[in-house]
Structure 1
Amino acid sequence: MTNDCRPRLRSNHILKYADDTTVVDLIRDNNEAAYREEVRHLVDWCRGNNLILNVKKTKEIIIDFRKSRPTHTPLLINDSAVEVVSSTKFLGVHITDNLSWSPHIFSLMKKGQQRLHFLSRMKRASLPPPILQTFYRGTIESPLTSYISIWSGSCRASDWKSLQRVLRTGEKITGAPLPCIKNITDRRSPDPHRPQPPQPWTVFPPGVRQKVPQHLLQKDQTTEQFLPPGHHTLNAT
């Protein structure tokens, strides 16, 4: 369990997903003391929990838009310098040090074009259009629109055209109109004027639990909510 692996300072953030851990820090006035102390704390935590950090796979990316950047002192982990990169892949999203989404869009377009080949082979096999559309929606449209609410706001016009070419090719193969990618963006992007539904649960910090009242977990209500109707019919017979 990594629940006790938390940042020591408020300016730092630790993002954990499976076996990947990312340390994010906002550095002000060229003072990297808090950032480097957080990394040392993470290394000590891993050592105390019998975990080994792979320094060769550890990368550091610096996002700095100043014209004159100061000299960066290498970050050391176990006496080994961490490689500084200009782009990295975080949970399937390509992030660059200039926050350009063109590499990410190119990766999406390349993946979509590769899967269009399988879609055209399915059409040559005389599969019906509904199956072709289902294949497109599940294997091409889904990755094209993943994290779209993040990168769509600062995407270049040339990148949109690249994605639209994949869409038009899919329409030619399936023989039916497909949802426009920009319309999907508008549908998924949060609208500040749209009323949000009430949230029945409150997000608590790590280590804090809440006891659910028993009257909210009645047996009949829970069973009808989580079990499909076919389950009740089978039990009744």
Structure 2
Amino acid sequence: MKCFEKLVRDFITSSLPASMDPLQFAYRHNRSTDDAIAHLLHTTLTHLDEGRGNYVKMLFVDNSSAFNTIIPSLLTTKLGDLGLHTSLCDWISNFLTDRPQSVRVGNCASSTLTLSTGAPQGCVLSPLLYSLYTYDCTATSSSNIIVKFADDTVVVGLISDNDERAYLEEIKHLENWCQENNLLLNISKTKELIDLSWSRHTSSLAKKARQRLYHLRRLRDFRLPSKVLRNFYTCTIESILTGNITVWFGNSTKQDRQALQRVVRSAERITHSELPDLQTTYYKRCQTKARKIVKDPTHPNNRLFSLLRAFRERKRLPDGQDREAEEELLPTGHSGPESGKLINCGDHHH
């Protein structure tokens, strides 16, 4: 069944308009959590730079058992509005309704219930169906944006002159939208961000990485080859230190960066080999991310990058100069202030 679900998922994805819900960053080609965070930070920093007294409020919204509260009839109506064929909408409705469910613990099983609400947890289709169910949850004011990644939602209010009315009205509109769509807000887990410091985040990363150094030392004590030690470092330690690095490393303080780099230096002593430093990894991933965005005209951040004339004329360059022209796309001083802010998010020490 999961194989068939994958076929249906891919068919639905290929049938959707590219312009649909551009600020939903989940389940779309060339989108990830760091794209969502980068867009969020760029919007925030741009507004703060536009005028003295400007500030931003962010409300991170949590829904209780979001997948379990989807109304299939409402979902299929929305799928039809998106242009999906009636037969496919009917199949999805049939897939989600009259589902038998029971719970088994050991040799004990509960009585069977028939469910006609929600999308089954663990199904291949459920995350995509939820994102389509919420595609019409968008900001109503130009001074607000709503950024989504699957069932994670943040309302961003760009506030000037201490006028928060549009932001508060947006929250009220979101509350009404949730009620109309049978989604229950989890008030205890819905939080408003008041500080953009990354120190707590980097401290958490350093702590997790240091804990895994113990296992790296144990492997060394067992006299495993240096190559195996490096692979273990890459999979279990570097992956922690560099997760979404393009959106937070540029805003981290010098002290926080040094704390993270000390973990890398400790790993080098254990593995007896040179490992990539975080600054280099950060620059390389920024470059990779920038090139992907430039090549994707449907990406919400594509408009922030402008191709230089030298790159547009690369076909006329002598052999060997293509690489030099390509470098001019990067946000490290060549692509303009907008693209630089997107990737680097203020690459300085606080």
User: TM-score, normalized by length of structure 1?
Assistant: 0.64
Per the alignment, residue 286 of structure 2 pairs with 189
Q: Secondary structure at the match of 1:16?
A: strand
2:204 corresponding residue in structure 1: 107
Distance 1:107 1:30, change over 3 A: same
> What SS class does the counterpart of residue 243 from structure 2 fall into?
coil
Structure 1 distance, partners of 2:171, 2:136, is 15
Q: Distance in 2 between matches of 1:184 and 1:198?
A: 20
| Counterpart among 168, 175, 179 of residue 36 in structure 1 | 168
5+ residue gaps in structure 2? 1-132, 301-350
In 1, Cα distance between equivalents of 2:152 and 2:293: 33
- Specify the SS of the correspondent of 1:189: helix
Alignment correspondent of 1:126: 223
Alpha-carbon distance in structure 1 between the residues aligned to 2:261 and 2:241? 10
Deviations 1:17-64 (A, max 9, x none): 2222110111111111111111111111111111100001111123xx
- Paired residue total: 167
**Contact kept? 2:293, 2:299, Cα under 8 Å:** no
Give the AA of the match of 1:42: L
Secondary structure, counterpart of 1:15 in structure 2: strand
Distance in 2, matches of 1:150 and 1:11, equals: 23
- TM-score, normalised with respect to structure 2: 0.44
Distance 1:196 1:41 in 2: 35
CA RMSD in angstroms, aligned pairs only: 2.3
Residue 47 (str. 1) matches residue 179 (str. 2): yes
**Residue identity matched to 2:220:** K
* Superposed structure 1 runs of 4+ greater than 4 Å apart: 194-198
Question: Percent same amino acid among aligned pairs?
Answer: 47
| Paired position in structure 1 for 2:260 | 163
Structure 1 residue 60 corresponds to structure 2 residue 192: yes
Q: Which amino acid aligns with 1:28?
A: S
Return the offset for 1:151. Answer: 2.3
Deviations 1:183-228 (A, max 9, x none): 112222249xx988973x54189xxxxxxxxxxxxxxxxxxxxxxx
* Partner in structure 2 of residue 211 of structure 1: none
Aligned match of 1:176: 273
Q: Distance in 2 between matches of 1:140 and 1:195?
A: 27
